[in-house]
Amino acid sequence: MVNSAHTPIPLWRQLLATSVVVTAVRNGASGTAALEDVPADLRPGVQALAFHVWRNLGRAQALRQKLATRLPPPAADALLCTALALCWRDAGAPYDAFTLVNQTVEAAKHSAAIRAQANFLNACLRRFLRERDALVASTDADPVACWNHPPWWIKRVKQDHPEQWRDMLAAANDPAPMTLRVNGRKIHTPDYLALLAQAGIAARADVQVPSAVVLEHAIPVQRIPGFEQGLVSVQDAGAQMAAPLLLQGMANGAGLRILDACAAPGGKTGHLLEISDGAVTALEIDARRCARITQNTARLGLQARVQTADAARPQDWWDGQLFDAILLDAPCTASGIVRRHPDVRWLRRESDIAQLADQQKHLLQTLWALLRPGGQLVYCTCSVFRAEGHDQVQTFLAHNTDAILLPSPGHLIPQNGSKAGAVPDNRAGDHDGFYYALLQKRLA
């Protein structure tokens, strides 16, 4: 029976649904897609639990190896790891350990796929409760348990960022803040902060990004003052660097032709329209995601030329006129946004990096041909891997003598507010991980 508004949802139902989501990601589905399949009444609670599980799954898997001599069937293993991830330590746990163990066993009893494993799960978890401190200590030397990332990911971050890798992995396990982008066409940042204060919403301006406002606590978009009127959009501070960087040093007149390739869901498209009077073309290969671009720009009271097309095939969409500015937010591993999408680390495979790097290389080379001499192109990814950032651009520069690398942020290391340390190639603030390169085409 579907619970009424006055009947709390049993925890076992949420745990069972969470284990199904964890299994889906293990099988190659994104966490976002898996959560969309969860019944609406369960989804908020399941999302919160799943995010906690993904941020602690490395430790959970290490503990499961101590508790079970043989790997349980996939559904039972997902439920066991879900419980262990949620209760391996008291700090930050959503429920006390005894309640989680009790409700996990109850979840197994209610599942046809796991019922036969209920006694096994009960034995593992009861032993865990008895020996928790010793079991946790026995896994402390395991890097996967310590950092809650796959071995290949830890190795890659160590190689790419030998001075910052510990801070980066630690930051990836902290929830990201809710950050807004103030629409300068409608309101200035200080005035919007005053509007938030009047509504009793605590917030601060970002120290490096003028348009960014960071909320102390996340709230539903329906409660954000002026959201429906287009005063603000939800966008990470790091992502807000793209549009101003692209237009840096360029006149923002009505004649400027701007391309936003790979544009969905339209956050950067909207920002380009907010700070420029140019004509913006936004491309997206997925028709449904194209609709989101149109919806988002319409809320801002602005308009782009939105096309459902593959940016890598200009013969299908290009009108033959060169662009003054091109923003290439290339498909990538999303390794820089695991604060917001903690499933990504368990979804990705190391082989994905080379495949995506090839796609990025092709897009960069293809779109470069559409840029006028003297024009500017921003290549960016929400990745911390050098193969998708620094190395990609250096290879491009070596093969394109008409390209000039202008001063650019480079790799932005994920940071969490005041906890961030001063590191090279980076700026203080609270933002996700990105790579930015501003390229200019030489005049003939």
Which residues are the active-site residues? 382
Strands lying side by side in the sheet with 323-329? 305-308, 279-284, 257-261, 323-329, 371-381, 434-441, 403-412
**Angle of the 287-299 helix axis to the 267-275 helix axis, nearest 10:** 40
- Torsion sign over Cα 221, 292, 339, 54: positive
Pairwise CA distance, residues 384 & 423, whole Å: 14
Other CB atoms within a 10 A radius of the CB of residue 131 amount to 14
Q: How far is CA 296 from the centre of its chain?
A: 19
Tokens 């095939």 sit on residue: 313
Contact 296, 303 (CB under 8 A): no
Six-digit token pair at 307? 């096309």
**Residue 117 to residues 26, 74, 108, 384: CA-CA distances in angstroms?**
20, 11, 7, 40
Pairwise CA distance, residues 41 & 46, whole Å: 10
Give 129's contacts (C-beta < 8 A, 6+ positions apart). Answer: 97, 98, 101
- Torsion sign over Cα 313, 319, 322, 327: negative
**Residue 110 to residues 17, 114, 208, 228: CA-CA distances in angstroms?**
11, 8, 51, 43
Torsion of CA 244, 162, 382, 352, to 10 degrees: 150
